[in-house]
Structure 1
Amino acid sequence: MKQYLLLSLIGVILFTGCDNSKKDQKGTFVGGQIMNPYNPYFILSKDNKTIDTLFLDQNNQFGKKFENLESGIYSFKHPPENQIMYLEPGDSVLVWLNTMQFDESLNFSGPGAAKSSFLLEMFLNNERNNNLMLSYYKINPSDFAGITDSIKNTRKNKLKDLNAKKKFSKSFITLANNSIDYDFYHLRERYTFLVKKYYNELAQQIPDDFHDYRKDLNFNATQLKEYYGYLNFIEDYLRTRSIERCLEKFDTNSDCFELHSVANINYRINLADSLIEKDEIKNIFINRLAIQGLVFSSNAEKIDSIVGILEKIEFKGKNLPDLKQMANIQKNLLPGNNIGDLELVNFKDEIVPLKDVSKKPIVTYHWSMEAPEHFKWQHSIISNLRKKYPELEFVGINIDENSKQSWKNTVEIYAMDKDREYKLNSPGINMNLLMNYLNKLIFLDTNGNIFNGEAQLNTPNFERQILEFLND
């Protein structure tokens, strides 16, 4: 199939003149084929701005020559999935993927594709390393340092060998080396946080030079702001520094690891505000941290405190109105409030108030087609909970803005219970904000009063919260 793609698109490539012998051309060709597509389009973007939407033809292929693309990392999306690629003038990159295994099947080919392939390989290796961290952080710091040094050196050597064959541009070599470095720093920061939280004895063994890289950090590398590894590093660095500062002031028995406390959120927001000068990077983290603080606020005072932090640093990010709306959403979801009149749409296109969905106490869970792995995992757990707690009604609420037909198709494809699945009917709410509530469940009595708005499926005390709800 990939060979067919190359043959069918090669005429387009030649027509546009994007071949390897004319790298001095300004044009950049992007094309490809998507097997088992979710939808009929491929979206290319940079800096969170859509450059173009390319529609698939009858063979699920797409392609276009762009005249003025600058060198750098680009994002592409085939909703709900997304990835990154590296493009330069003169490149002619073909993308092939199968949505059944999006990242694992993704393949780049054509002149200039080796750069994107290298970044993809690092992404997949990072995913594997993230899983290995569950065992890595239990070893002593010296051994962990050796492992991370080896990972870094292997990648540097891989890049050097590829460059000898492909003759990469200086700009890509610089970016690739920086991305390797920040992936390395990210591993060190994650390890530091985990051992300080779970293995204080190991934390005491961290050598003095373990964090030597910190003196060379650049929090304003705008050329890396599309690179997930760089953003992950900054997020983990802010978290680790907040813990270290707290432990220096107090002790290991304190609440230093309460990452969603107002004190912790306040420190991390102020640290981001002081370290990061570039607004396009700074605002990413202030926005993330404010959302974390709001979503996990258990009372109105904490919610007002988070908004107060933003006002104190005079945050003027474009997401500020959304954050204030989110503060109001969170206040409405606090225990004691009533959301029984919340309008839902059932599978028959009827509008139904939440309180009328069932005569049983209700537990709502929320999902989006933008997060397929999440809703598959979520529905598997909910299915078991329904059998275990038949006295409760577990109600699924889809939060997506797209058509009801897409929602219905998803419900049917994944064999969800149609009678227990609903779509939110609240056009005044920014649905993107609700993505932050996908892990949360809301416990309601038969009148629509909120008993618990903080429950999460992935926490150890979740079923204890169910029992408290039933025994209330």
Structure 2
Amino acid sequence: MRRLLLLSIFSTIFSIVGCQNKSTNTDKVYIGGKIVNPNLDYVILSRDEDIIDTLKLNNDNQFGQYLNDIDPGIYTLQHNPENQVIYLEPGDSIMIWVNTYDFDQSLNFSGRGSQESSFLLDLFLQNRANNELILNYYKIKPEEFKHISDSIHKKRLEEFNENSSKNNLSDNFKKIARQSIDYEFYDLRERYTYLIKKYYPEFTKLIPEGFNDYRNSLDFNNKLLKNYYLYTNTIDDYLRTRAVEYCIDEHKDRDCFNVSNFDNIKRRAVLIDSLSSTPSIRNKFLDLLLSKAVTMVTNKEDLKKVLHFAESLNYQEIEQIRQLSKIQENYFTGKSVANLTLLNTNSEETTYGDVIDKKSIVYFWSANNIRRYIWQFRTIKKLEEKYPELDFIGVNLDIGQEKKWLRILDENNYDQKNQYQLSKRKFSNDVATKYLYRLNFLDKNAVIARGDAPLSSSAEFESQLLEFLNQ
């Protein structure tokens, strides 16, 4: 049925566009399609964080447009709060069908050049399944995990070779697809390495020789994949693990797994600063790390240290870090958030002061970070059962995306009792999402008692909860 609908849309839109241009221009790219249950009346196509074009929906929620000057490569198709990668090169004519109620699963590409985007979508869905796999399999011994990860890598390569033989894929795309499969494999190994070092350190002695040899193949200047999540996730996870390993080697008496600790963040920033000479890659990670360092600061003295370090780097967006620092001064320990507004699940505006009547832990989440929010809710559920004396309050950061927020809660059967969404703010959405990794320990008067403890199910985090309860 969906295929028939796509053909109908394809014919309709091309009959309209055909009146304007009946010639076939292989230097152009055509993108068209339909969005069912749209959140907005437009779709954004971007690359390297630059907007290429904004495609408007008509009254039937259809869109269609020719694009000029499109270089071959990976682009992002965004319909807030959803987004997905798409591969484009001159001569492509791609139709898209998607239902926002199940964006990734329903997404369908057809038309000339669509097989590349379909391959990337399948890889994304398989990789998302790997997120569940790693949470289940990091408890097994290294030799067993080596076999599992090798098997996944081999299967992906077989699928790619089969796809290549059936379809006329461009050489440029073949490079992207082949490297993407490798980086998926690298990330599986890297995440496993981190998890066993943290939770099962006795397994580190059992890691087989060559298990981490893939690290020699990591390219910190990969311009072909620089905006592709499989690549950026791998580099991010590598920096995290290496910072932990450095800490373990140099400071055996320190908690090296507090990845929100400034020393850990600083080490990762120093690493990417030394490893990458590509400004767009280097600055992407510096922005992530320095922003996290600022949002975890709890007093003026520590904020000065973070700013001094940031200014010591050749970082292009230092002014944004300075602006974020000014905002952060409102979230130091001892500051009240009682008057800040929230939206409850009945679409009613309220405040922290109205919501909080006992000691509470506030965590933030976004629909745009699926891997994290699934883990967050799973972790919070366990903590709620163990610590009923505390309220655990979830605050969604996707302001204005009320339908999507409620749909996620409903579809995943998340308890909506203590779920809220940001209602108003004096700063941009980009700034809001920088608080994704921050927790606020609030007393019964909605005053911040602590804001630098990262969410975790570890014994150390639970000791912090108990300390907070006993204050």
Same-fold call, TM cutoff 0.5: yes
Matches of residues 23-34 of structure 1 in structure 2 within 5 Å?
Answer: 25-34=26-35
For the Cα contact (< 8 Å) 1:80–1:372, is it kept in 2? no
* C-alpha displacement of 1:271: 0.6
Partner Cα distance (1:54, 1:178) in 2: 30
Alignment pair present for 1:160 and 2:161: yes
Give the C-alpha shift of residue 447 in structure 1. Answer: 6.0
Q: CA 1:414 to 1:126, structure 2 compared with 1: closer, same or farther past 3 Å?
A: closer
Q: CA 1:15 to 1:58, structure 2 compared with 1: closer, same or farther past 3 Å?
A: closer
**Comparing 280-289 and 5-14, the one that deviates more:** 5-14
How has the CA–CA distance of structure 1 residues 334 and 88 changed in structure 2, closer, same or farther, with 3 Å as cutoff? same
Give the SS at the match of 1:63.
strand
> For residue 143 of structure 1, what is the aligned residue in structure 2?
144
How far, CA to CA, are the matches of 1:327 and 1:307 in structure 2? 8
Distance in 2, matches of 1:408 and 1:97, equals 17
Q: Is the 8 A contact 1:47 1:226 kept in 2?
A: yes
CA contact (8 A) 2:362 2:441 kept: no
Report if the CA contact (8 A) 1:411-1:418 is conserved.
Answer: no
Within 2, Cα distance between the matches of 1:368 and 1:102? 19
Mapping of residues 43-82 of structure 1, within 5 Å:
43-82=44-83
Sort the Cα spacing of 1:219 and 1:59 in 2 relative to 1 into closer, same or farther, 3 A: same
Q: 1:13 to 1:285 in 2, by over 3 A?
A: same
Q: Which whole-Å deviations, capped at 9, do the CAs of 1:15-41 have from their partners, x for residues lacking one?
A: 768xxxx99811111111122222222
SS of equivalent to 1:204: helix
Q: Could you tell me which amino acid in structure 2 is paired with residue 270 of structure 1?
A: V
Which residue of the partner structure matches residue 192 of structure 1?
193
Q: Does structure 1 residue 86 correspond to structure 2 residue 99?
A: no
Q: Is the Cα–Cα contact under 8 Å of residues 189 and 236 in structure 1 kept in the other structure?
A: yes
Distance 1:135 1:412 in 2: 26
- CA 1:149 to 1:27, structure 2 compared with 1: closer, same or farther past 3 Å? same
What is the 5 A alignment of 1:213-362?
A: 213-251=214-252, 254-316=254-316, 318=317, 320-340=318-338, 342=340, 357=354, 360=357
CA distance in 1, matches of 2:165, 2:265: 46
Following TM superposition, by how much is the alpha carbon of 1:333 offset from its aligned partner in structure 2, in angstroms? Answer: 1.5
**Mapping 1:10-25, distance limit 5 Å:** 10-13=11-14, 25=26
Distance in 2, matches of 1:369 and 1:249, equals 35
Tell me how far 1:453 sits from its aligned partner: 3.5
1:191-227 residue CA offsets vs partner (Å, 9 max, x unmatched): 1111222222221122232222222321111110121
Name the SS of the counterpart of 2:58 in structure 1: coil
- Which AA in structure 1 matches 2:273? D
Q: 1:424 to 1:454 in 2, by over 3 A?
A: farther
Q: Deviations over 1:163-205 (max 9, x none)?
A: 1221211111111111111111111111111122222222112
Identify unmatched segments of 5+ residues in structure 2: none
Q: Is residue 2:428 matched to residue 1:430? A: yes
Separation in 2, partners of 1:244, 1:88: 42
Letter in 1 for 2:87: Y
After superposition, the Cα gap between the structure-2 partners of 1:261 and 1:398, relative to the gap in structure 1 and judged at 3 Å, is closer
1:214-241 CA-partner distances (Å, limit 9, x unpaired): 2232111111012100000100111121
**How far does residue 121 in structure 1 lie from its aligned partner after superposition?**
0.9
* Kept after mapping to 2: 8 A contact 1:79/1:370: no
Provide the rounded CA distance (Å) in 2 between the counterparts of 1:237 and 1:270.
Answer: 13
Judge which range, 160-169 or 269-278, deviates more. Answer: 160-169
Deviation, structure 1 residue 359: 9.1
What one-letter code is carried by the residue in structure 1 that aligns with 2:7?
Answer: L
Quick one: distance in 2 between partners of 1:413 and 1:134? 21
Q: Which amino acid aligns with 1:8?
A: I
Deviates more, 1:269-278 or 1:153-162: 153-162
**TM superposition score normalised by structure 1:** 0.82
Q: CA deviation at 1:145?
A: 2.0
Specify whether residues 173 and 303 from structure 1 end up closer, same or farther in structure 2 by C-alpha distance, changes over 3 A only: same
C-alpha change, 1:364 and 1:324, in structure 2 (3 Å) is: farther
Output the CA distance in 2 between the equivalents of 1:261 and 1:446.
Answer: 26
Q: Distance in 2 between matches of 1:134 and 1:349?
A: 34
Tell me, in whole angstroms, the C-alpha distance in 2 between the residues paired with 1:238 and 1:395.
30
| Mapped pair 1:133 → 2:131 | no
* One-letter code aligned to 1:216: S
- Structure 1 stretches of 5 or more lacking a match? none
Question: Partner of 1:453 in structure 2?
Answer: 451
**Matching residue's letter, 2:280:** E
Matched-pair contact (CA < 8 Å) for 1:336–1:450: yes
Match of 2:314, SS state, is coil
Q: Which amino acid aligns with 1:240?
A: T
**Alpha-carbon separation, structure 1, partners of 2:164 and 2:305:** 51
Tell me the CA shift for residue 394 of structure 1.
8.5
Cα pair 1:363 1:441 within 8 Å, conserved? no
| Cα separation, 2, equivalents of 1:150 and 1:349 | 48
Structure 2 CA distance, aligned partners of 1:128 and 1:219? 26
- Cα deviation for residue 340 of structure 1 reads 4.6
1:288 maps to a residue whose letter is L
- 8 Å Cα contact 1:399/1:424 also seen in 2: no
**1:173 lines up with 2:174 in the alignment:** yes
CA distance in structure 1 between the partners assigned to 2:187 and 2:443 by the alignment = 44
Measure the CA separation in 2 of the matches of 1:185 and 1:430: 34
Q: What is the Cα deviation at residue 151 of structure 1?
A: 1.7
Mapped to 2, the partners of 1:196 and 1:414 lie a distance apart of 33
Offset of residue 348 of structure 1: 13
Shift of 1:61: 1.6
Structure-to-structure mapping, 1:380-419, within 5 angstroms: 402=400
Distance in 2 between the 1:136 and 1:412 partners?
A: 30
Q: CA distance change for structure 1 residues 224 and 347 in 2, over 3 Å: closer, same or farther?
A: closer
- Which SS does the other structure have where 1:224 is aligned? coil
Q: Which amino acid aligns with 2:118?
A: S
For the pair 1:39 / 2:37, whether they are aligned, the reply is: no
For the residue of structure 2 that corresponds to 1:37, the secondary structure is coil
Name the SS of the counterpart of 1:259 in structure 2: coil
Q: TM (normalized to structure 2)? A: 0.82
CA distance in 1, matches of 2:86, 2:222: 18
1:338, distance to aligned residue in structure 2 (A): 3.6
Q: CA RMSD in A?
A: 3.9
